[in-house]
Structure 1
C-alpha cells in the first residue's frame, strides 16, 4: 500500500481523521524543530515553536487552500512563530556558547579521520563558533532565508512561498547573507577557506 501524500493526509484530517494529521506531524516534526532551532537558537523555544506550529496548523486545516504544498504551509507557520518569538525576547545573546549543538553539527565529518590533529580540531571548532556567531548577527530576514535554503535545503521556489517573496529576492538574500558571513569571518581571521 502506497504512503498517502501530504495533500491526502490534509484532506483526511479535514474530514476528522486525527491519525492522518498525526502522520503529517511525524513526517515534518524533526524538520520543523531543526528550522526553529536554527532561528530561535534555543532547544526549549524550538520545541515550543514546533508544538505551536502543529497546533495552529490543525486549527487552521479548513483554511488551507492547497495553493502550496502542506510542508510549505507548515514551514511558513514555523518561520512566523520563530520570528515572533525572537522579536518578543530581550536581546541577551551576544555570542555562541561553546556547547551550542549547531557547532557539533558543523563539525561532523563524513569521512573517517586518520589521527586527530588537536590544532586542526581546535581551529575547526573556532571556525564553527565564528560561523554560528556570524549567522546570529545577520538580520532576521537574511538569517531565515539562509537557514531555509542553505541549511535545510529548501529549494528557492518553496522558500519564496514560505517567506512570501519572489524567487529572485530569495536568491539575493542568500547571496547577501553569504557575502556578509564571508566578511564577518574575514574580520575574525578566517580567510578564504571559510566557505
Structure 2
C-alpha cells in the first residue's frame, strides 16, 4: 500500500475521514512534543499541548487548503495553541528548565572533557532561557526541528527572507549571551 503524504491525509480528514488524523498524530507527536518541551520545560504540559494541537486541527479542518506545507500549517497551529495557553493562564512562558536537554557520553571520555561539555550545555540552556520567547521559538524551529525557512515564514507569518533574518539575529543574540556566560 502506498504511503499517503501528510497533505493527502489532512485532506482526507477534511473530507470526513477523521481516522486519518491518528496517522498524522503518530507521525508528528514526538516532533511537536519536543517543540513544546523546549518552549516550556514541562513534560505533562507539553503532552497536553500536543493533544490540543490535534483537537484544534480537527476543529478547524475546514480551513486546511492543502496548499503549502502541512508541517508549516501544523506548527502554526502549535504556536497558536502555545500562545493561547499562556494567554489564558497568564503565565510567563520564558522559563527554561536547566535539566531539559539530555545527552550521553561514552565511558571513555575523560573527566575534564565531561566537565567542559556540562558547562557548555548549562550555558547554552541559560542563554536560551534569557532570550525572548519569539527568538527562542525561531531557533527551536530552524536549528532543533530543522524546519525550512520557507515553512518558518508560513508559521510565523512572514517571508522566507524575513524568517532567515530573524533566525540570524536570534542566533547572533544567543551567541552574545553565551559568550557573556563563558567569561564569568
> Normalized against structure 1, the TM-score is what?
0.84
Q: 1-side partners of 2:93 and 2:12: how far apart? A: 43
Q: 2-side partners of 1:79 and 1:185: how far apart? A: 26
User: Superposed, which structure 2 residues align to 1:87-166 within 5 Å?
Assistant: 87=87, 88-91=89-92, 96-97=97-98, 100-102=99-101, 104=102, 107-108=103-104, 113=106, 115-166=108-159
Equivalent position SS for 1:188: helix
The residue that corresponds to 1:3 in the other structure is 3
Q: 1-side partners of 2:90 and 2:115: how far apart? A: 32
Query: CA RMSD for the aligned pairs?
Result: 2.2
The number of aligned residues is: 183
Aligned partners of 2:124 and 2:178 also within 8 Å: yes
Equivalent position SS for 1:101: coil
Closer, same or farther in 2 for the Cα pair 1:124/1:153, shift >3 Å? same
Which 5+ residue runs of structure 2 have no aligned equivalent? Answer: none
Closer, same or farther in 2 for the Cα pair 1:21/1:148, shift >3 Å? same
> More displaced, 49-58 or 1-10?
1-10
For residues 102-141 of structure 1, the C-alpha deviation after alignment (integer angstroms, 9 at most, x for no partner) is: 1x1xx346xxx47221121122112111101111211122
